[in-house]
Structure 1
Amino acid sequence: MDIGSLIAALLLGLVAGAIGRALVPNDAFRHMSGPTSWLVSTGLGLAGALVGYWIFTALLGIGDDDRFDWGGIIGAVIGAVIVVIGASWVLKRTGRPAL
């Protein structure tokens, strides 16, 4: 993986994570701000991109292996929403504060 692909993946993760967090009301990470919030959004977005890829490309056979197209971005956002809901559910259920 070259540096350009790495930067693009991090930007995709940040955007997908931020959109995913914005779409989920009352998530466990809502109190965060600043660099911590950006880092959490990027991590959730990258995890969401993997979940979205797995669901749409590997499981359902929809899409292709292109890294950055509109379908991949939409899949990453849907995956990020799933990851945010799952992480919020686990954190609220265990009573642990988010970071």
Structure 2
Amino acid sequence: MEFGSVLAMILIGAIAGWIAGKLMKGRGFGVIGNIIVGVVGAFVAGMIFPALGFAVGGGVIASIFHATIGAVILLFLIGLIRKA
């Protein structure tokens, strides 16, 4: 994996994590936590969406959208675990 790929993944993860934190009404985890949630959320969405037959497309905007949906799902699951 090249440095540019890693940098793009971190940047997209940060944006997706920040958007997901705003959508989930303050369930963000700070800058580093949001990056982690965004990257892991993109991974989660990458596993779930193909199984459902859902395709977003290519490009940066589609990647951010994809990662944001995954991060929202991840934040929702973390919220359920915290309440239990």
- Distance, in Å, in 1 between the alignment partners of 2:35 and 2:60 is 18
The reply on whether 1:74 has 2:65 as its aligned counterpart is yes
Instruction: Output aligned runs, 1:28-43, within 5 Å.
Output: 29=28, 37-43=30-36
Gaps of 5+ in 2: none
CA RMSD of aligned residues (A): 1.9
One-letter code aligned to 1:16: A
Instruction: Output aligned runs, 1:48-67, within 5 Å.
Output: 48-56=41-49, 58-59=50-51, 60=53, 62-63=55-56, 66=58
Q: Secondary structure at the match of 1:62?
A: coil
Q: CA distance change for structure 1 residues 84 and 2 in 2, over 3 Å: closer, same or farther?
A: same
Contact 2:16/2:38, CA 8 A, preserved across alignment: yes
- Distance, in Å, in 2 between the alignment partners of 1:11 and 1:69 is 10
One-letter code aligned to 2:68: V
| Runs of 4+ deviating beyond 6 Å | none
- Distance, in Å, in 2 between the alignment partners of 1:5 and 1:87 is 28
**Structure 2 partner of 1:16:** 16
TM-score, normalising length from structure 2?
A: 0.83
Considering only CA atoms, is the larger Rg found in Structure 1 or Structure 2?
1
**Structure 1 partner of 2:4:** 4
Aligned-residue sequence identity (percent) comes to 29
Instruction: Output aligned runs, 1:88-99, within 5 Å.
Output: 88-93=79-84
One-letter code aligned to 1:38: V
Q: Quote the offset at 1:84 in angstroms.
A: 0.7
Residue-pair matches, total: 83
Answer 1 or 2: which has greater helix percent. Answer: 2
